[in-house]
Amino acid sequence: MNQYSKRRSRLLETLPENAAVILFAGKAPMRSEDEAYEFSINRNFYYLTGLDKENMVLVMYRLDGTSGEYLFIPPYDEKMARWVGGRMLKEEAAAVSEIKKVEDVGDLDSFVASLLNRNRRNPDFTMFFDFWHYEFDQSLSLAQRYANKLKENYPALAFKDVYPALAKMRLVKDEQELESIRKAIHITNNGILKMMKSAKPGMNEMTLEGIFSFVLAQMLCHRTAFGTIAAGGKRATILHYHDNNRVINDNELFLCDLGATSDYYCADISRTFPINGHFSDRQKEIYQLVRNAQKIVEANAKPGVKLKDLNQMVIDYYKQELPKHGLNEAVSEYYFHSCGHHLGLDTHDIDGGLGAVLKEGNVITNEPGLYITAEGIGIRIEDDLLITADGCEVLSKEIIREAEDIERYMNGQ
Ligand code: GLY
Ligand code: MN
Ligand code: MN
């Protein structure tokens, strides 16, 4: 049994008797004219199948003590194969996912109709979809559209969201997932080292971003985890700066927040370094405060603690230290995000909520920062932590982060 098969069994166990789950792989939205945006697989579909192709649908059910699983995929098309490469054959999809019953996606409606007909007299029968929705007015997902279509034809049918059950599973990473995250971090490390070695005053932010992307391509990593943030000087005080198109002047700091992926698993790392290879005394002083805040999180992240508690420790530390460094104690003026989030198939993975209690197997980020607009200093240091039985492991510890180590490395010592 591979990991996808095991996860499907575990999910089915969490569902009530007489229920079905329908999960859509998704479809790339159109961008302009005849060009679509890059396709990005529905992560829950991927988590349960290992497949990352468009227009596939997973159906699982539990009925009267029996269960079943079916995959619906686009039929193999010779012409499409010549234009854009082959679609997956049924046997290929079956081999990756270990789902034995693979059908044409055109047969989905009649299959669902027969499932519903079998349950005509069952008032408890419930259909589960992934109804994750981020913004109030975002365009409808395939799941929402399909549920709306079913609701029109079967108005008494009950729907539920399968997202919470999957979220609970995805928050605790298994060995395969950790291996992918470690690989993504390792690739990210190589990209950051190359940026540090290439940095020179007068360089454009875009050039450093390009160096990172080039290293990823060299290491056969096809995608970044999110849009790279490459911010020089005072642009580093903008939390999610994305223009990446300005010159970084001598004596300025450069903040990069970026990540490679491996099998869709993300790294999310921030490093801040001096573009000329030497921190000024003031830059180093602020850098050390951020690094100390990070160490507090590292020392306290363990099962039973909440992200919210870790963030409060960072705020308390800053409140005590900032006035000693010519800053006022209103911490939110300089630090206005929280110290971390879950990480996995998405960069901001599964919203466990700041109040959720950490568990062994969670992967979180540790990313305190300080953003001093008046001085044009923005510093964030971000590492990725695995929560262990009694503490945490810094998965990204190989990526240099002490100020002296950065200077030594940048100056070839
Ligand atoms: N890269 C976005 C974040 O650190 O949360
Ligand atoms: Mn980040
Ligand atoms: Mn982050």
Q: Which ligand is nearest to the CA of 366?
A: 3
Give the helix/strand (H/E) hosting 24.
strand 19-24
Distance 374 CA to ligand 3 centre (A): 24
Same-domain pairing of 144 and 276: no
The residue nearest atom 3 of ligand 1, judged by CA position, is 268
Index of the ligand 1 atom closest to the CA of residue 257: 1
Distance 382 CA to ligand 1 centre (A): 8
346 lines ligand 1 (CB under 6 A): no
Distance between CA atoms of residues 411 and 365, nearest Å: 29
268 lines ligand 1 (CB under 6 A): yes
The list of the chain residues with pLDDT below 50 reads none
Distance 85 CA to ligand 1 centre (A): 34
Of 144, 169, 194, the last residue of a domain is 169
Same-domain pairing of 117 and 189: no
Distance between CA atoms of residues 59 and 61, nearest Å: 7
Same-domain pairing of 153 and 277: no
CATH number at residue 186: 3.90.230.10
Same-domain pairing of 346 and 227: yes
Index of the ligand 1 atom closest to the CA of residue 382: 4
Same-domain pairing of 274 and 158: no
CATH number at residue 100: 3.40.350.10
Of 108, 139, 169, the last residue of a domain is 169
226 lines ligand 1 (CB under 6 A): yes
Index of the ligand 1 atom closest to the CA of residue 348: 5
Same-domain pairing of 385 and 327: yes
Index of the ligand 1 atom closest to the CA of residue 229: 1
Same-domain pairing of 203 and 160: no
The residue nearest atom 4 of ligand 1, judged by CA position, is 268
Distance 258 CA to ligand 3 centre (A): 9
Query: pLDDT tens across 359-407, in order?
Result: 999 999 999 999 999 999 999 999 999 999 999 999 999 999 999 999 9
382 lines ligand 1 (CB under 6 A): yes
Q: Which ligand is nearest to the CA of 270?
A: 2
349 lines ligand 1 (CB under 6 A): no
Q: Where are the beta strands (DSSP E) in 35-186?
A: 35-36, 57-63, 66-73, 101-104, 126-129, 158-161
Domain, as residue range, for 285: 172-410
Pairing between β-strand 369-372 and β-strand 261-262 as defined by DSSP bridges: unpaired
Collapse the DSSP code of 83 into the 3-class scheme (helix H, G, I; strand E, B; otherwise coil) and give the result. helix
Distance 257 CA to ligand 1 centre (A): 7
Of 239, 266, 270, 294, the residue with max ligand 1 atoms within 8 A of its CB, to mutate for a pocket test, comes to 270
- Please provide the DSSP assignment of 262-306 as one string: ETTEE--EEEEEETTS---HHHHHHHHHHHHHHHHHHHH--TT-B
Distance 8 CA to ligand 2 centre (A): 31
Same-domain pairing of 264 and 161: no
257 lines ligand 1 (CB under 6 A): yes
252 lines ligand 1 (CB under 6 A): no
Distance 398 CA to ligand 1 centre (A): 19
Pairing between β-strand 363-366 and β-strand 19-24 as defined by DSSP bridges: unpaired
205 lines ligand 1 (CB under 6 A): no
Same-domain pairing of 97 and 246: no
Same-domain pairing of 306 and 336: yes
Of 120, 151, 169, the last residue of a domain is 169
Contact 45, 26 (CB under 8 A): yes
Same-domain pairing of 226 and 145: no
Domain count, the chain: 2
Please tell me the chain's helix, strand, coil percentages from 3-state DSSP, rounded to the nearest 5. Answer: 40, 20, 40
Same-domain pairing of 147 and 236: no
DSSP type of residue 225 = S
pLDDT of residue 352: 67
Distance between CA atoms of residues 67 and 17, nearest Å: 9
pTM, 2 dp:
0.96
